[in-house]
Structure 1
Amino acid sequence: MRLQQKVQGNAAAAEIGIAAFSEAYDVIVVGLGTAGAVAAICAAENGLSVLALETGECMGGTGTSAGVLGYYYGAPSGRYEDVDKLVYSSDGEIFAQANRIYPDHILPDKKAMVLERQALAAGVTIRYDAWTFGVYMEDKQVVGLLWKDGGGIHRTGAKYVIDCTGEADICSMAGCETVRGRTFDGKTQPYSLCTMTLKDGNVHSYYADNGFINCNDGRQYSDQMLETYTQGMFLKERFDPEDYYSVICPQAGVREGRRITGEEEIAFGDFLQDRVTDRPLFYTHCNIDTHGIEHAFEDKRYIEWCIVAKLKFMNFSVPVPAGALIPKGYRGILAAGRCLAADRQISPGVRVKRDMQKCGEAAAALAYLSIRDGVEAKAVDYGTLAAMLRKTKCLDEDNNRLTYRVDEKASGEKINRQVEWLTEPAEIQEQMKGPIPGLGIWSAKRLGSRIISDLKGWLASGDEEVRFNSAFALGLLGDAAAIPVLREIISAPLDFQRETPVNGINNVLGAIYLLGELGDGESVPHLIGITRLDGRNNEYWQHFLFSMTALIKIGRSCRETGVREAVAEALQWVMDHKKDIHMTLNAKENIVSDLTGQVRTFIKANW
């Protein structure tokens, strides 16, 4: 037997012979947050003995101690809805009432209490302020944990460990392969820290994107938290009565951390080509809910979907297979929550609370059947597993749908309209000037060569929207016929006096990106001109970053005389003169992010 630990962030392993476990459980759930709380309850309700370890002081994680009261999309149904019904049923009796402007808001203290009562009733052994610092291994199988709480150090055996830490901490400690952040610099999405106030008898929560954090670096985490608490939203010059806080939430709302490499991977590229599992445990439903600010540094599939096709608010369903919860090559351990095996591009669309609660339920069912039938998790009979999850509607095929958030002109409200990909050219052309032009653009991309002749004909359309969106579709298909219209789009006067929201998108950014992909040497002078403008807000820096990355692509691919030299000179000018590149995470709170170092790193890595 081997004991594996992390010491000062580094892996350490020692052969120990046979471990003397002081106790043993069928399942140990580590992390009682969004996924872990439901995993512990469901595993115990399935008849397993369950030990649940939580570093904090309550169950629920993001929805309780982090103060995120409501739900952002996600597919309904599953065991968690029974918990929520209990919370709603007595909201306002013992506790104050959650903000009823948003009907799905749940009071965090009440949900933590209901989760704990449900877990104890099911027979879960709960330990708070419990820290895991060792994993017992037999070859590639996890057989127990070394952990401590107020009662001392414990050596506990287990048939399964379900890692619900959000950061794949236990998987990483066991030696499982993990990845973190985006490819070129490992940067993750920003985190948020919530405050809650009591106003008019209702509990209100407020949060902003507060910065970037690495939960695996203790010093950096501590420094960032201290800096966050001194930001204007927490430390005001003057507090009005309605500003008084009932609580500053003790847990940060972290959107992205480590992710496992699983027996099966959920990849955005596969989803876009309809290569998805036909053996789902549950469906997720959300848009690409990324809070990042420097979109030009993201993967091309993200840029093409969100920026070029303007589909950031397209909600889509992802079927999650069992293999996405099983660390590749390992036994006796599962991962549930945002650390499941999903690539960085699609993970913002699968990590929301509703869906991660279902992930916990699915992990519990998978562990139960593996133990009951005496087989590895990846060998569990899918028909039996699916039938079990259908009973609670954790697995519900009705959740497999495509929707888009649009403004309802009659009511002024935003609604989610169910949509389908289009296959007829006339429908696509009409949609390109409709409320969801991206539906037409991406439908054209899906048709490929079958619609290219139609798109080329529409470039001469008298309708500007049809002409521009046809050029975007052609550009996505790699057809150079789009270039003249794309040049026209970027030649429009730029107004950097207005401030586009961080997630704001416009035609110019998409056109710049496609000109870079198409290697258009003639656009180089104009792109260089954009990089040399004197701008200071997000609107300018988005154009700067897209122009810079497009120049790099053109310089590397274009064979026209003098193009590479012009690009090299332009990039050197950026290195010499652009020394104060800042983007605002939250304009109201004046929370900024310094991108100067990342720009320099990107140029050196790609040029």
Structure 2
Amino acid sequence: MNFHYREQGSVVVKTAGDPIEFSDRFDVIVVGLGTAGAISAITAANKGLRVLGLERLNSMGGAGTNGAIIGYYYGSPGGLFESIDEETRELEAMGYTKSRGVNAEVKKIALERRALDTGATVQYESAVVGVYMEGMAVRGVRWIGPEGIQQASCRILIDATGEAEVCSIMGAEMYGSGRQLDGKMQPFSLPVMAIRDQWVHNMYSDHGYVDQTNQDELTQAILRSACIFTHLPDQYNESTKFLKLAPQLGIREGRFILGEEQVTFADVVADRLSAEPLFYAYSNVDNHAKDIAFESELQQDWAVAASLWGLTLSVPLPLGALIPKGFDNVLVAGRSIAIDHDLAACVRMKRDMQKCGEAAALIAYLALDQGLSVRHVPYDQLRPLLLENGCLRPSNHVGMKDGLSVGEDETNQKVIWLTSLERIKEELAGDKPGIAIWSTRRLGAAINGTLKEWLSQTTADQQNLRKNTAFALALQGDEAAIPHLRDCVRTRDPYVPRTSRKYNQARGYAAIYLLGKLGDVEIVPELLQIMRQRDQFINQSTDIEFINHNDEYFFQYFSFSLMALIRIAERHPGIRGQLLETVVPLVEDPHFSILVTMKPSKDVNYDMADTVRNIVRKKAASWESKVGNAASAP
């Protein structure tokens, strides 16, 4: 039997040894009793399994309790969590201060009561430090808790740590973490809880970025967030009484496992969806970052070129997405399942992660009941269990919807992609062109001839039709769009479409993104000039939720220009020297600073200078390496 553990917090060490006798034996060990793990432990114990739940904090529930996120954003209804939320409301009515959402402190009680009533063993303030392995199967875990070092065996392990931490220790392969460009993950938040008008409220804003797998970085993030000025007003008074800071940061993203089946944003937009879902996740691609110019091209096609940030998606998650590739008795529950960075902004909502935990427990139950590997659990027998509590609810599969406001999903219209040329033209001429722009992308290059005809026939009063048609052509890679995109850049076109309920992107810098995608060399001097003209950028955006001051407005033009220049230089190596001569001194100036606000506040600023510098340094080193390799080639 092998024992895997971390040394110095990062290096995984593997030691071989003889089989050991465990004093405690469980059917299922759930590591992490947060949003997903708490529901996993309760569900597995409900099915008669002997369950141990290990949690590093002193209560269950994760983001909805310790994280003080008391409301729900999107996510689809159904599942065990709904009855726990109802029990929480009943307990609250017995004399607790009422909460504008699901009462975080009372839900801790409801979860713990359920877990203990079902016979689960719960150990708080306990951190897993090692895993016992035989081949590709976990045999047990070691942890440190209030009673010192302990260990126990399990037949199935559910990693609900949110970071796939146990999977990482046992050697499971990771799909990655963060975006491809620089590994940066979604911004984190930290709520403060207060009583206002006799109700418990949470107040939060995003505070920046953190790699939570780096202990020093995480520590600094916790300290800075606790002292942020929004949490430290001059005084709290009778109208707003301070209760506490949330003891858990609002981490939105971490590691993703490489699963038996990976679900990506590219799959979803291409309609490559599983026919054997465990549950349906439901949300928009809720990217909280303002530096969307540094995201993948696909995400920018979606949210910048088509302004589809607010379009909601129902995503079926299959069995294989919860299984680390190659492992026999390990499941993952929570935001580290087998998805990708782009899709993670959609598949992370509390409702859905609670259902994910329930699904993992039901898979474990069926695998143990039938003596099977978790990979071989038959879906036709799993499906009735998922349907029983509504964890799987076919009515949740609503496809894509043009969501207008949170909490009113039933009134929103299901998106039907356009195929009628007449309808596409009509929509491109309007102020909500996004569905038509993406519809042309789905139709492919066969429609480009028609789009070019429309371009040639537009009159002076048909600006929307001309420019939106150019956007549609650019998404197809057609260079006929270039003159019209250049016009948008040169006029700093401030127009903001109304496709999405919020966070639509201004046409001027969206055109820069598309010119970079097309590799337009002629626009290079103008983009370099933009990056030197901070004082000329006055915020004209009508979308006040996305751009709140001049520096932030300039950052959009600056960041999109930078990335367009990099994409153009990738296709035209001859301009790399010119680009580096201008950009490197600009960003390496010690006084270089460029601020953006953090959602949803208009007051919390974050300096993007280091992010920009790191991107430029990485790209410069890459180009220099290619030159060196070419010079040394025989």
User: TM-score if structure 2 supplies the norm length?
Assistant: 0.89
What amino acid sits opposite 1:505 in the alignment? Q
Which ranges of structure 2 fall in alignment gaps of 5 or more residues?
Answer: 496-500, 536-549, 624-634
In structure 2, distance between residues paired with 1:152 and 1:438: 57
User: Do the aligned residues in 1 keep the contact of 2:403 with 2:409 (CA within 8 Å)?
Assistant: no
In the alignment, residue 221 of structure 2 is paired with which amino acid? Q
1:48 matched to 2:49: yes
Whole-angstrom CA distance in 2 between matches of 1:113 and 1:461: 64
CA shift in 2, pair 1:226/1:502, >3 Å: farther
Aligned residue runs from structure 1 range 263-412, under 5 A: 263-401=260-398, 402-406=400-404
Shift of the alpha carbon at 1:461?
Answer: 2.9
**Offset of residue 80 of structure 1:** 1.3
Counterpart residue number, 2:556: 542
1:519 correspondence with 2:541? no
CA distance in structure 1 between the partners assigned to 2:261 and 2:409 by the alignment: 39
1:73, 1:285 within 8 Å by CA — same for their partners in 2? yes
2:427 — aligned with what?
A: 431
1:244 to 236, 241, 244: 241
Closer/same/farther in 2, CA of residues 114 and 241 from structure 1, 3 Å limit: same
- Aligned position for 1:466: 465
C-alpha distance in 2, partners of 1:137/1:363?
20
Q: How far apart are residue 365 of structure 1 and its match?
A: 0.9
Partner in structure 2 of residue 181 of structure 1: 178
In 2, Cα distance between the equivalents of 1:199 and 1:597?
38
C-alpha distance in 1 between matches for 2:279 and 2:294: 31
Q: 1:592 to 1:424 in 2, by over 3 A?
A: same
Q: How many residues align?
A: 593
Once residues 373 and 423 of structure 1 are traced to their aligned partners in structure 2, the CA distance between those partners, rounded to angstroms, is: 48
1:556 aligned counterpart, secondary structure: helix
Percent identity, please: 38
CA contact (8 A) 2:98 2:198 kept: yes
In 1, Cα distance between the equivalents of 2:334 and 2:600? 31
Amino acid at match of 1:88: R
Residue from 593, 602, 624 that aligns with 1:580: 593
1:567 is matched by which residue type in structure 2?
L
User: Structure 1's 565 and 173: CA in aligned 2 closer, same or farther, altered over 3 A?
Assistant: closer
| Cα distance in structure 1, aligned partners of 2:588 and 2:128 | 48
CA distance in 1, matches of 2:329, 2:606: 41
- How far apart in 1 are the matches of 2:410 and 2:300? 24
Counterpart mapping for 1:216-235 below 5 A: 216-235=213-232
Secondary structure of the 1:349 match is coil
Q: CA deviation at 1:566?
A: 3.9
**1:64 corresponds to which residue?**
65
Deviation at 1:565, TM superposition (A): 5.1
8 Å CA contact 1:97–1:203 kept in 2: the answer is: yes
Distance (whole Å) between structure 2 residues aligned to residue 266 and residue 312 of structure 1: 19
In 2, the alpha carbon distance for the partners of 1:407 and 1:73 equals 10
Counterpart-to-counterpart distance in 2, 1:442 and 1:5: 48
TM-superposed deviation, 1:123: 1.4
CA contact (8 A) 2:517 2:567 kept: yes
1:331 CA drift (Å)? 2.1
Match of 1:592 in 2: 605
Q: Do 1:233 and 1:589's aligned partners in 2 also have CA atoms closer than 8 Å?
A: no
- Note the C-alpha offset of 1:20: 2.1
CA contact (8 A) 1:210 1:585 kept: yes
| Paired residues of 1:137 and 1:143 also in contact (CA < 8 A) | yes
CA distance 1:407–1:465, shift in 2 (3 Å):
farther
Q: Which runs of 5+ in 1 are unaligned?
A: 100-104
Higher mean C-alpha deviation, range 85-94 or range 153-162: 85-94
**SS of the residue aligned with 1:51?**
strand
Q: Secondary structure of 1:22's partner?
A: coil
- Give me the whole-angstrom Cα distance separating, in 2, the residues matched to 1:600 and 1:248: 33
Residue number in structure 2 paired with 1:555: 569
Matched letter for residue 289 of structure 1: D
Match of 1:453 in 2: 449
Question: In structure 1, what is the Cα distance between the partners aligned to 2:147 and 2:52?
Answer: 15
- Matching of residue 567 in structure 1 with residue 579 in structure 2: yes
Aligned to 1:530: 530
Report the counterpart of residue 22 of structure 1 in structure 2.
Answer: 23
* 1:184 Cα deviation from its structure 2 partner: 3.3
User: What per-residue deviation string (whole Å, max 9, x for no partner) do you get for residues 535-565 of structure 1?
Assistant: 5611111110100111121123248xx7555
What is residue 102 of structure 1 aligned with on the other side?
none
- For 1:139-185, what per-residue CA distance to the aligned partner results, in whole angstroms no more than 9, with x for missing partners? 12111000122123211000011011101111111111122212233
> Would the alpha carbon gap of residues 429 and 502 (structure 1) be closer, same or farther in structure 2, given more than 3 Å must change?
closer
Note the alpha carbon deviations across 1:559-607, whole angstroms, 9 max, x for none. 8xx7555434333443454722333325857433333233232223334
Deviations 1:282-312 (A, max 9, x none): 1111011111221111111111111111000
Counterpart AA for 1:283: Y
Q: TM-score, normalised by structure 1?
A: 0.93
User: 3-state SS of the aligned residue for 2:534?
Assistant: coil
